[in-house]
Structure 1
Amino acid sequence: MTALGKLFRTTAFKLSLIYLIVFVLFAGFVLGYVAFNARELLLDQVRSTIAAETSGLAEQYRLGGIRRLIVSVDRRIRRPGASLYLVTTFAGERLAGNIGDLPADALDEAGTRVIEYSLATESEERRVNGRALAQVYVLPGGFRLLVGRDLEEQDRLRDVMRRAIGLSVGLITLLAVVGGWFITRRVLKRVDDMTASAQTIMAGDIAGRLPVAGTGDELDRLAQNLNTMLDRIGELMSGLKEVSDNIAHDLKTPLTRLRNRAEEALRTARTPEQYAQALEGTIEESDNLIRIFNALLMIARLEAGGGTRETMTDFDAAEVARSVADLYEPLAEEAGMPMIIDVQDHLPVHGSRELLSQAMANLVDNALKYAAPAGGALPSADVGSAGAGPGAASGATPAAGAQLSVTACRRGDRIELVVADRGMGIPDGEREHVLERFVRLEGARSRPGFGLGLSLAAAVARLHGGKLRLEDNQPGLRAVIELPLKAAA
């Protein structure tokens, strides 16, 4: 397709053409309306002048008869100008005036109308023909008085305005065509650049982005939104690759143990008790795998939002925080970590009570698992825990007397649900990293867990329009779920 043909097929060109047609029609209508009204104004002035002169000459006739009228007409025709006069008898005999020939029926009826005329001159060669606006007045005695004005000036003005309108419309059309072509070409160039970038991205360069001109117009906003979408797609692809790598790494151990238990049972088991023991171990490893996949499915559903938002309701987050704290308080005491509970009343949020409870439970479970004092380490009460809690940074065990706190409070138009411990915490540079799926720091790989708890908690927070923050508790870790406060109805 040629460049011109491509131009004609663009939406920008079609819109410019429609705009041009509408604008030219409107401009032509406005200019024509102005010209028509200007000419009518001039004609109204001519009519007023003719009426005044007719009235004056009729008064001369009333005062002095036909002779005085003829004298007045002869005096007026000597003045230069476009005025026309004619006095005739009832039979049409010319008595005075500067009009030579008229149409035969021009004086039959009184009134104002446009007539064709010729001036009375001494030479036939010098005869002047023209158009005039004239008023015929019937005097007492049957005499006819015609007073008129030549329309040459008005006709000339009409022609000038017609030419001006035609020239103006032509210039407007030319400027609109040139401007439309320039604007369309400019838009097309940007669209072509965006198309070329998109083709490059589709060819495999996922790091490529659409060009942004910086003008802030619709194309810039479109490019920015598409670039944001591409960034998100890139993050998802990177996350998918990382998850795949982590699955291959973290599922290898339970799958290997599962196979080894089955193989060992086949090789060594002889009695029913030995077979039963081997099967119990196999079932335990299978349950761990099922829990991992269930956690992955839940995170995927939360991130997609599929079917979850429709089931959200209004509830009190304070009740959720208290119920989770009450559930884990005996376990914390058993692990040597006295729990401090500080929950404000009435913290309304809109969301899923079950999911928020799951997220809070994961945070408390992580704190118990990785910040428990020596000899008090607690087995996980939530199989979806992240395995990247406070103690996961170095694998060190905190000193005895470590404590755990669960707080819930209002911060302006936000709600904060906080689980804090006095363990070794997580290095600042790793806090964003541990929110990803299957991420477990080196010191935590020897402990129970799969690296999914924090990822699940972060997904729940995002689903509720909030976020999960990991902060330094000096020492230890503060895990903060920040949610928007439900406004009062």
Structure 2
Amino acid sequence: MTLPPLLRSASFRLTLIYILLFGSSAALLLGFLYWATAGTLSDQVDAIIEADIKGLAEQYEQRGTPGVAAIISERVRKDPGGRTVYLLTDPLRRPLVGNLSKWPTVAPDASGWIEFELQDRDAPDGEVYLARARPFVLLGGLNLLVGREVRELVRTRDMAINAVIWGSAITLALALAGGIAMSRSTTRRIEAINQTSREIADGALDRRIPTLGTDDEFDRLAIQLNEMLDRNQSLMEGLRHVTDNIAHDLRTPLSRLRQTLESLDENGLSKTGRTTRIDRAIAEADGLLSVFNALLRITQIEAGGRRENFATIDIGELLRDVAELYEPVAEEKNLSFSLRCDETTGIEGDRDLLFQAIGNLADNAVKYAPPGGSVTMHAADRTVTVSDTGPGIPEEAFGEVFLRFHRLETARSTPGSGLGLSLVEAVANLHNGEVKLEDNCPGLKAILTVG
């Protein structure tokens, strides 16, 4: 027989363990209360009987048999209900005085106490009740039996036992009900995660795990999983975007490469022409290889595979090296090139990657600044800023330009692969930093901050 899903759940099994532990604790507590209550009352009864025996024994020593008999008779007279049991017999246990007609036939226990039944002669139904007594042998061989009826003690014991039974049953029932409710709640939360996972597996990548706003462990888990799903969806969309752009941007150079190679079979082609076309094909192939190498490098950076090359770097010194490389290019284009290094902080990073990232920013600035414009490079603390006076980028496109192969329509005619800013962003993330763009009015300002 297959159990219902709720009974097969891990949360229900944990609930059963909790019920057993809680029920055992409650039973022990109630058992202790029973022992403390019934045991105390029983000890009180025994103490009263012991004191009564001791008093009668002393009276016997002082006043003899007639004195003890008189005392017992007086006490029996004052207690017509028979709450106290007295019996004085001769050595043969023949009754002399007391409220019992004969000596009980029950043998004493190991402690010398006997418990026997008596019938209430005053009750209409002749109720039978229990008495507890202790025999004592007086000097001269007389037998003295002193005891008390323990109906109240028995009732108290029964009440305590019922309280233990009912208390344990109610405790277990409440614990079971609470456990089932808790298990259902937990199962519902887990099933919501499973349902969302199935929907995502079926292709609904935009589905997310619902939260209740309780900030409990399930909500925190759902938030973490949703953040992971957001990241995965972003990566999938980025992959689709990269695939589309690769197909779009590499189709033209591949077509040119094919045409160039096919043209090598033309009849009458001179050796110089053939060499020229071969060089053109090699250049196209090199361009394609550079694109794939850039992609590979970005992937390696995003995977964190370059941290073994980290060392202490001076940002100001690094910026001066980049400026030394691009200043002649800017001068050839008739651009005003300026460099300013304020006090900088040494950082832990990969010098080659940071050099390439800053170089990409400088290359873009020099590439897009018009003749007569300016390019400014500035370093301060852990931040590098590269500004130009070119056409800039619309503010709404600031986020898009960091996507791989993304190029604005106005930049399609300019050489490039659309991977420069993607690499800059990957390097910034590797160094626990960020890169952001601002309007330079006119032009663009790129700000790279490293951790």
Count of matched residue pairs: 446
The 5-angstrom pairing of residues 361-372 of structure 1 reads 361-371=359-369
Per-residue CA shift, 1:87-135, capped at 9, x if unaligned? 33444343332234444585899x6524325479799x96956241x34
The 5-angstrom pairing of residues 367-406 of structure 1 reads 367-371=365-369, 373-374=370-371, 400-406=372-378
Q: Is the 8 A contact 1:333 1:339 kept in 2?
A: no
In the alignment, the residues of structure 2 paired with residue 106 and residue 439 of structure 1 have an alpha-carbon distance, to the nearest angstrom, of 105
In the alignment, the residues of structure 2 paired with residue 108 and residue 430 of structure 1 have an alpha-carbon distance, to the nearest angstrom, of 99
Question: TM (normalized to structure 2)?
Answer: 0.87
Instruction: State yes or no: 1:450 paired with 2:422.
Output: no
Deviates more, 1:196-205 or 1:160-169: 196-205
The 5-angstrom pairing of residues 230-269 of structure 1 reads 230-267=229-266
Q: Report the CA distance shift for 1:146/1:48 in structure 2 as closer, same or farther (over 3 A).
A: same
Per-residue CA shift, 1:374-421, capped at 9, x if unaligned? 1xxxxxxxxxxxxxxxxxxxxxxxxx2513113131xxxxx3232223
2:153 maps to what in 1? Answer: 154
SS in structure 1 of the partner of residue 211 of structure 2: coil
2:86 maps to what in 1? Answer: 85
1:439 CA drift (Å): 0.9
SS in structure 2 of the partner of residue 209 of structure 1: coil
1:325 maps to what in 2? Answer: 323
Among 427, 434, 437, the residue aligned to 2:401: 434
Per-residue CA shift, 1:65-88, capped at 9, x if unaligned? 322222222222233363222333
In the alignment, the residues of structure 1 paired with residue 237 and residue 318 of structure 2 have an alpha-carbon distance, to the nearest angstrom, of 34
Instruction: State yes or no: 1:313 paired with 2:310.
Output: yes
In the alignment, the residues of structure 1 paired with residue 403 and residue 9 of structure 2 have an alpha-carbon distance, to the nearest angstrom, of 45
In the alignment, the residues of structure 2 paired with residue 247 and residue 416 of structure 1 have an alpha-carbon distance, to the nearest angstrom, of 32
1:428 CA drift (Å): 0.9
What residue identity is the alignment partner of 2:95?
R
What residue identity is the alignment partner of 1:99?
L
Q: Is the 8 A contact 1:423 1:476 kept in 2?
A: yes
SS in structure 2 of the partner of residue 429 of structure 1: helix
Q: Report the CA distance shift for 1:471/1:435 in structure 2 as closer, same or farther (over 3 A).
A: same
The 5-angstrom pairing of residues 129-148 of structure 1 reads 130-132=130-132, 134-148=133-147
What residue identity is the alignment partner of 1:477?
L
In the alignment, the residues of structure 2 paired with residue 347 and residue 361 of structure 1 have an alpha-carbon distance, to the nearest angstrom, of 19
In the alignment, the residues of structure 1 paired with residue 6 and residue 198 of structure 2 have an alpha-carbon distance, to the nearest angstrom, of 21
SS in structure 1 of the partner of residue 4 of structure 2: helix
SS in structure 1 of the partner of residue 415 of structure 2: coil
2:164 maps to what in 1? Answer: 165
Q: Which runs of 5+ in 2 are unaligned?
A: none
1:226 CA drift (Å): 3.0
Instruction: State yes or no: 1:229 paired with 2:201.
Output: no
1:193 CA drift (Å): 4.4
1:342 CA drift (Å): 0.9
Deviates more, 1:48-57 or 1:247-256: 48-57
What residue identity is the alignment partner of 2:291?
I
Q: Report the CA distance shift for 1:480/1:426 in structure 2 as closer, same or farther (over 3 A).
A: same
Instruction: State yes or no: 1:54 paired with 2:53.
Output: yes
Q: Report the CA distance shift for 1:446/1:86 in structure 2 as closer, same or farther (over 3 A).
A: same
1:269 CA drift (Å): 6.7
1:220 CA drift (Å): 3.2
Q: Report the CA distance shift for 1:105/1:31 in structure 2 as closer, same or farther (over 3 A).
A: closer
Q: Is the 8 A contact 2:365 2:387 kept in 1?
A: yes
SS in structure 1 of the partner of residue 374 of structure 2: coil
Instruction: State yes or no: 1:71 paired with 2:70.
Output: yes
In the alignment, the residues of structure 1 paired with residue 64 and residue 109 of structure 2 have an alpha-carbon distance, to the nearest angstrom, of 22
Q: Report the CA distance shift for 1:76/1:322 in structure 2 as closer, same or farther (over 3 A).
A: farther
In the alignment, the residues of structure 2 paired with residue 152 and residue 333 of structure 1 have an alpha-carbon distance, to the nearest angstrom, of 116
Q: Is the 8 A contact 1:405 1:419 kept in 2?
A: yes
Per-residue CA shift, 1:199-257, capped at 9, x if unaligned? 33333333333333333334433333333333222212221221112112211222233
SS in structure 1 of the partner of residue 450 of structure 2: strand
1:113 maps to what in 2? Answer: 113
2:44 maps to what in 1? Answer: 45
Q: Is the 8 A contact 2:365 2:375 kept in 1?
A: no
Q: Which runs of 5+ in 1 are unaligned?
A: 375-399, 410-414, 485-489
1:6 maps to what in 2? Answer: 5
Q: Is the 8 A contact 1:341 1:405 kept in 2?
A: yes
1:21 CA drift (Å): 2.6
Instruction: State yes or no: 1:417 paired with 2:418.
Output: no
Among 407, 429, 433, the residue aligned to 2:379: 407
Q: Is the 8 A contact 1:101 1:119 kept in 2?
A: no
Q: Is the 8 A contact 1:20 1:177 kept in 2?
A: yes
Deviates more, 1:154-163 or 1:435-444: 154-163
Q: Is the 8 A contact 2:373 2:388 kept in 1?
A: no
What residue identity is the alignment partner of 2:380?
A
Per-residue CA shift, 1:162-187, capped at 9, x if unaligned? 22222222223333333333343344
Q: Report the CA distance shift for 1:69/1:320 in structure 2 as closer, same or farther (over 3 A).
A: farther
In the alignment, the residues of structure 2 paired with residue 158 and residue 268 of structure 1 have an alpha-carbon distance, to the nearest angstrom, of 120
SS in structure 1 of the partner of residue 407 of structure 2: coil
Instruction: State yes or no: 1:463 paired with 2:430.
Output: yes
What residue identity is the alignment partner of 1:95?
L
Q: Report the CA distance shift for 1:249/1:74 in structure 2 as closer, same or farther (over 3 A).
A: same
Per-residue CA shift, 1:21-80, capped at 9, x if unaligned? 332222222212211221111122222222332332233233323222222222222333
In the alignment, the residues of structure 1 paired with residue 109 and residue 159 of structure 2 have an alpha-carbon distance, to the nearest angstrom, of 35
1:292 CA drift (Å): 0.2
CA RMSD in angstroms, aligned pairs only? 3.1
Q: Is the 8 A contact 1:138 1:145 kept in 2?
A: yes
Question: TM (normalized to structure 1)?
Answer: 0.81
Q: Is the 8 A contact 1:321 1:343 kept in 2?
A: no
Deviates more, 1:249-258 or 1:136-145: 136-145
1:189 CA drift (Å): 4.0
